[in-house]
Each structure stands twice: as structure tokens, then as C-alpha cells.
Structure 1
Amino acid sequence: MKKTISGIRGIFGEDLYLKDVLEFCNNFSSLVQSGKCAIGKDTRPTGSMMKDAASAALMQNGIDVFNLETVPTPVVFREARKYGAGIVVSSSHNPIQWNGLKFIIEGRGINEKELPKIIEKQEIPKTKIGAEQDISSSYIEDARKIIGSLENNPEVVVDIGGGAAKGFAPELLESIGCKVHTINENLEGSTRGPDPTADSLSDLVSASSGKDVGFAFDLDGDRLVVVRNGKKQTPDVTLGLGVAKSLDLGYKKFVLSIDTSVSVEKFIKENGGTVQRTKVGEANVIEQMIKDNAQAGGEGSSGGFILPEFNYCREGILTSGLISSMLGTAKYNEILDFMESYFQIRDKTAIDAQLHDKVIEKVQTTFEKNYSETITLDGVKGIIDENSWVLVRKSNTEDIIRVSAESNDENKCKQIVKDTIELVNQSYEQVR
């Protein structure tokens, strides 16, 4: 089981049980000052029983539960702004047998200070029993107001991936004027995995041929991957397009995770903006956004654009509408042409979690000898030259070490990743 600011995640029935859900949600109750909590789930088979257990734990502590049933994560975040707290029953892009809990306070994910209060036992005074109420969301209407109406009626293909974006992403895109075709609407029979950043998306590539754009979502609808001209784009492109729209709207203050493409940062600065970097993790980006009063940003690695004025989370569904509003414009082509000269590769290697820190420490020593600059904000990042970097960090959600690299030379990027994976594995052997 993983317990991080990204949420509680585990394989249901192996290291995550209903008793854990009851305990964590009981503890979370101590953070809910409003006495109200919105709750929703994605399409995982274990979602309903986990949501019911989470609701029961909240209600026994006097918290009123507002049930959204099956909805994307951004919808729960949006409603949590109204009610003061929220829970999403999801493990996002993890395999189907996994599930988990995402906790929301005041419209944002929990931070490092709040996490211990959720994973350590709390005694909650019992004053009353809370009530439960089914609710619907105004999410589509709210998002449409941000995006506006389109005049060119683009043709888009939406790959639901069997997830919670069904009933939201196609409807939003249709409401702003897109001609929408959907594939993989249901979990049963879906031809791809839950993580569009990792899947080849071959069906979407084929279905979007001759169309303006293709969009693929993960199971809970916060990640978005773009398919353009018959080619799956890197997840950084999703963020880059959101950034381009933000710049077009006059926004200048951005926050990006440390593993986001350098091309996005350069594009922002060339257009008069500023960039602050953070540790990887949606909650880390959001925390810095709030601190700096930033206007936009996100995580390139997760295909996650964040627009704080609308939601304090990765916004795959809203972003699909914002991108659609840019189709055929100079700004749309400008950012894509700019980013296509950079190549990102993200890989991973299995390492005993107990040795992660020792491995990264040895990697850092080597980086300091070989590279002009090292950054230890999150793991260790080596700056190779102005267009090339490599980042080694332990995962927040899996028992692995991640290696990410970028360069304006594709072969160089591949070699950087190959050499760094070998270095990580060698370091592992040395500390075992």
C-alpha cells in the first residue's frame, strides 16, 4: 500500500481492505471543518463498496455526505470547493485491481502536513450522525463558461478508456460545438489500459485519422493525452497546449513540476512569463500555485494542466475543451512546432523500496562529477546542457525508481536514459 499526498493506493484484497478505508476516512474526518464532504468514484469494480465504506466513516463522525456516484476526479474537486471537503475513490492510472482514496480540503489535495493526520489513528468525538444526499454537478456548464463556444465545429475523437470521463468529456465538447466520436466507452471491452500516457492508443490513432484531434483519458478523467495527425503526443504536449492557451489569455505566472519539458518553460519565458519549479506531484504544484498566486501550470509527466481559477487539480476534461478552442489557430501550431524539436523519454526500473534513498544518493555523487549542475528538489536532476537533462526519483505510487530525460536530439535522449538506467541498477547492486 502507498500512502502519499497523491492518495492512498493499494491492491484491493491484498494490501488494501475495507477496514483501511474506514480507518483512513475516520482520520480524515478530523480535517473536515465544514461538516460537509462531496464524494465520487471512478469505474473500478471495487469502487461502490469502497465509496459506501468511506461515506459510512464520514457520517458516523457527523459529516454530511454529498454523493456524486461515478464522476471524474475534477468534478469532485469542483464540488469540494462548495462543500469544503471531498473524497475520490480512485487510484487514477493504476491497474484495475488497484483502488484508493484521494482526499480534498478546501478544493485542493492534501499536503505533507495533513497526510500524517490521515494515516495515523485519530479519536473523533461523536456528536451526531451525518446524512447522505445524492447530488448532480454543474461542472459541464461551469467549464463551458470558461471555454466559450467554437465557430469552426472541429471533429474530435474521445477515447474514454472505460473510465469516469464518460458522460462528461463528450458532453462538454459537444456543448461547445465539437463534432464528437467516442471509443472505449465502457470498462468491459475497452481495448487499452487505464493509463493513456503508457498505452500506445492504437485504436485512437486509427479512429482520429482525418479528424482534427484525438483525446484519451485515464480512469478518473484527470489525465489527458493528445493524438494529432495520426501520432500520439507526449503528455508534456497536453500541458504545453494548456500553457499556450493561458498565455493567449494574458496569464504570466506559471508553476511546473521539475520533470516537465524544458520546451514548455522556454515557451513561457519567450512569451514574457515566469516559471517556478516544484517537486513532482499534483499537490506540490498546487501548493506552490497557492503560495505564489500563480495563474496556471501543471505536470508534464502526467499530461496534467492545472487552471487554479477553475480547479485545484489536473484538469483533463476542461483542457480537452480549451485545446479544442485552439484548433487551427496560430498559437496551437506555434506551441506544437516549438515542442516537436524536443524529445522526452520516461522509463523506470524495479528497485527495493527500502534502498531507494541509498541508490539515489550514489546516483547523485555520479551526477555531481559528470554534470555542470545537479538539483535535489525531488530526487536528483542532472543538467547536461541548456537543452538536455535527466531526473532520477522514487515513485510516489509504485515500488520503482523513475528515470526521465529530455534533449533536442532524440538519439542523445535515448542514450541518456539507457546510461542512467544502467547507473541506477549498478548503484542498487552496490548498496544491496
Structure 2
Amino acid sequence: MKKTISGVRGVFGEDLNLKDVLEFCNNFSSLIKSQKCVIGKDTRPSGDMIKNVASAELMKNGIDVFNLETVPTPVVFREARKYGAGLVISSSHNPIEWNGMKFIIEGRGINEQELPQIIEHQENLKSKIGTEYDITSSYIEDAKKIIGDIENKPDIVVDIGGGAARGFAPDLLRESGCNVEVLNEDLSQCSRGPDPTSDELSELISASIKKEIGFAFDLDGDRLVVVRKGEKQTPDVTLGLGVAKSLELGYKEFVLSTDTSISIEKFIKEKGGTVKRSKVGEANVIELMLKTNAQAGGEGSSGGFILPEFNYCREGILSSGLIASMLGTSKFDEILNYMKRYFQIREKTEIDSNFHDKVIEEIKNKFSKEYSEIDSQDGIKGIIDDDSWVLIRKSNTEDIIRVSAESNNEERCKKITKDTLEVVKQSYDKVR
């Protein structure tokens, strides 16, 4: 089971069970000052069971529960702003047998100071029994106000991936003025896996050739992958397009995760903006956004564009509308052409989680001798030059160590990645 600021996640029935749901929801209750909590789930088969148990435990502790049923994660975050707290039953892009919970306080995900209060045992609260209400969301109407009318009516294909974006992403795009074809609406007949960043998206790629753009979502609708002219784009491109739209809207102050493409940072600065870097993870990005009053930003590795004035979370659905509004304009082509000058590679290697910290520390010692500048705010990042870097960090969501690299030379990027993976392997062999 993974227990991080990204949420609690595990294989349901193995390392995550209903007893865990009861425990974590009991503990979460102590953080809910409003005594109100919005709850929603994605389309995983275990979602109903976990949601019902979670709702019952919250109500036992005096929390009124506002039930959204099956909705994307950004919808729960949006409604949690109104009610004070939220709970998402999902494990995002993890395999279908996984499930989990994401905890929301005051419209944002929990931070590192609040996490121990959820995962460490708390006494049961003594209070009156809460009530459950069924509610609907104004998310589509609210998002459309940000996007505006898309007058050139672009032809778009949307791959739902059998997830909760159904009924939200297509409807938002249609109401904004797009012509929309939908793929993989139902989970039982879905042709791809739950993570669009790792899936080949062959059906969407084929369909997108005759369209202006294609969008693919993960199961809970917060991750967005862009397909353009039959070619799957990197997650950083999703963020870069969102940033370009933000700059067009006049925003200048950004926060980017430390693993986000240097091309996006350089683009922002060339347009007169400023950039601060956070640890990886949307909660870390948002925490720094709140501290610095940043206007936009996000996480490159997950294609996670974040617009704080609308939502304190990765916003796949809103991003699809904002990106669609740029189609056919010079701004759209400008950011894509700019980012093509850089090459990113993101790899991962399975390593026993008991050795993660020791491996990172061993690599830190090697990097401090090899690179003139290192950044250890999240794992260890070696700054090679103005256009090249490499980052090694343990995942917030999986039992793996991630290696990310970037350069303005493709062959150099491949060599950096290959050499670093070998360093990780050697370090693991040394410390175990």
C-alpha cells in the first residue's frame, strides 16, 4: 500500500481492504472542520463498495456527506471548495485492480503535515450522526466561463478510457463549440489501459488523423494526453499548451514541478513570466502556489496543468477546453515548435522500497562529485548545463524509482538516461 500526499492506494482486497478504509476515514474526519464532505468515485469495480463504507464512517463521526456518485476528480475538488472537504475514491492511473482515496481539505489535497493525521491511528470522534445528500455539480458551467466560446468549431476526438470523464469532457467541449467524437466510453469495452501516458493509444491515434486534435483521459479524469496528427505527445506538451494559454490570458507567475521540461520554463521567461520549482506531486505544486500566490503552473510528468483560480488540482478536463480554444492560432503552433527543440525521457526501475532512501543517498554522493550543481529538494537532480538535466526520485504512487532526463540533443538525452539507470542499478547492488 502507498500512503503519500497523493493519497492512499493499493490492490483492493490484498493490501487495501475495507478495514483500512474505515481507519483512514475515521482519521480524516478529525481534519474536517466544516463537518461537511463531498465524495465521488471513478469507474473501478470496487468503487461503490469503498464509497459506501467511507460515507458510513464519515457520517458515524458526525460528517454530512454530499454524494456526487461517479465523477472526475476535478469535479470533487471543485465542489470541495464549497463544502470544506472532499474525498475521491480512485487510484488515478494505477491498474484496474487498484483503488484508493484522495483527501481534500479546503479545496486542496492534503500536505505533508496533514498526512500523518490520516495514516496514524486517531480515536473515534463522538458526535451526532451525519446525513447523506445526493448532489450535482456546476462544473461544466463554471469551466465554460473560463474557456469561453470556441468559434472555429474544431473537430476533436476524445478517448474516455472507460473512466469518469464520460459525460463531462465531451459535454464541456461540445457546449464550448467543438464537434466531438467519443471513444471508449464504457470500461467493460475499453480498448486500452487506465493510464494514457503509458498506453499506446492506438485507437485514438488512428482516429485523430482526420481530426484537429485528440484527447485521452485516465480513469478519474485528471490526467490528459494530447494526440496531434496521429502522434502521441509527451505529458509535458499538455502542460506547455496550458501554460501558453495562461500567458495569453495575462498570467505571469508560475510554479512548475522539478521534473517539468526546461523548455516550458524558458518559454515562460521569454514571455516575461517568472517560475518557481516545487517537489513532484500536485499537492507539492499547489502548496508552493498558495505560498507564492502563483497564477498557474503544474507537473510535467503527469501532464498536469493547474489553474488555482478554478481548482487546486491537476485539471485534465478544463485543460482540454483551454487547449481546444487555441486550435488554429499561432499561439498553439508556437509552443509546440518551441518544445520540439528539447527531448525528454522518463523511465522507471523496480527496486525494493525498503532500499529507496539508501539508493537515493548513494546517488547523491556520486552526483555531487560529477555535477557542478545538484538539487535535492525531491530525490536528487543533477544540472548538467543550461539545456540538460537528470532527476532520480522515488515515486509517490508506485514501488519504483523514476529516472527523468532532458536535453536539447536527443542522443545526449538517451545517453544520460542509460548511464543514470546503470548508476541506479549499481547503487542498489551496493546498498542491499
Which residue in the other structure is 2:377 paired with?
377
Alignment partners' CA distance in 1, 2:237 and 2:206: 20
CA drift at 1:415: 1.1
Tell me the secondary structure at the aligned position of residue 128 of structure 1: coil
Tell me the secondary structure at the aligned position of residue 348 of structure 2: strand
Unaligned runs of 5+ in 1: none
Which residue in the other structure is 2:368 paired with?
368
Unaligned runs of 5+ in 2: none
Is 1:141 matched up with 2:154?
Answer: no
CA deviation profile, 1:105-151 (whole Å, cap 9, x unmatched): 00000001111110111114322000001111000000001100011
Alignment partners' CA distance in 2, 1:372 and 1:325: 42
CA deviation profile, 1:368-424 (whole Å, cap 9, x unmatched): 222221110100001111111100001111111100001111111111111111110
Alignment partners' CA distance in 2, 1:78 and 1:293: 19
Tell me the secondary structure at the aligned position of residue 334 of structure 2: helix
Which residue in the other structure is 2:256 paired with?
256
> Normalized against structure 2, the TM-score is what?
0.99
Q: How many residues align?
A: 432
Is 1:10 matched up with 2:10?
Answer: yes
CA drift at 1:361: 1.2
Q: Residue type matched to 2:191 in 1?
A: T
Which residue in the other structure is 1:183 paired with?
183
Which residue in the other structure is 1:240 paired with?
240
Tell me the secondary structure at the aligned position of residue 392 of structure 2: strand
CA deviation profile, 1:56-89 (whole Å, cap 9, x unmatched): 0100011100000000000000000000000000
Tell me the secondary structure at the aligned position of residue 144 of structure 1: helix
Indicate the RMSD between aligned Cα atoms, in angstroms: 0.7
CA drift at 1:187: 0.7
Q: Residue type matched to 2:169 in 1?
A: A
Matches within 5 A, 1:22-421: 22-421=22-421
Q: Residue type matched to 1:396 in 2?
A: N
Contact 2:30 2:125 in 1 (8 A): no
Q: Which moved more, 1:351-360 or 1:130-139?
A: 351-360
Q: Residue type matched to 2:104 in 1?
A: I
> Normalized against structure 1, the TM-score is what?
0.99
Tell me the secondary structure at the aligned position of residue 301 of structure 2: coil
What percent of counterpart residues are identical?
75
Alignment partners' CA distance in 2, 1:103 and 1:431: 35
Following TM superposition, the consecutive aligned residue runs of length 4 or more in structure 1 with deviations greater than 3 angstroms are none
Tell me the secondary structure at the aligned position of residue 308 of structure 2: coil
Q: Residue type matched to 1:423 in 2?
A: V
Alignment partners' CA distance in 2, 1:221 and 1:39: 15
CA drift at 1:258: 0.2
Alignment partners' CA distance in 2, 1:106 and 1:340: 38
Q: Residue type matched to 2:164 in 1?
A: A
Alignment partners' CA distance in 1, 2:399 and 2:310: 33
CA deviation profile, 1:263-285 (whole Å, cap 9, x unmatched): 00000000000000000000000
Q: Residue type matched to 2:284 in 1?
A: N
Q: Residue type matched to 2:154 in 1?
A: P
Q: Residue type matched to 1:162 in 2?
A: G
Alignment partners' CA distance in 2, 1:230 and 1:368: 42
Which residue in the other structure is 1:426 paired with?
426
Alignment partners' CA distance in 1, 2:281 and 2:293: 18
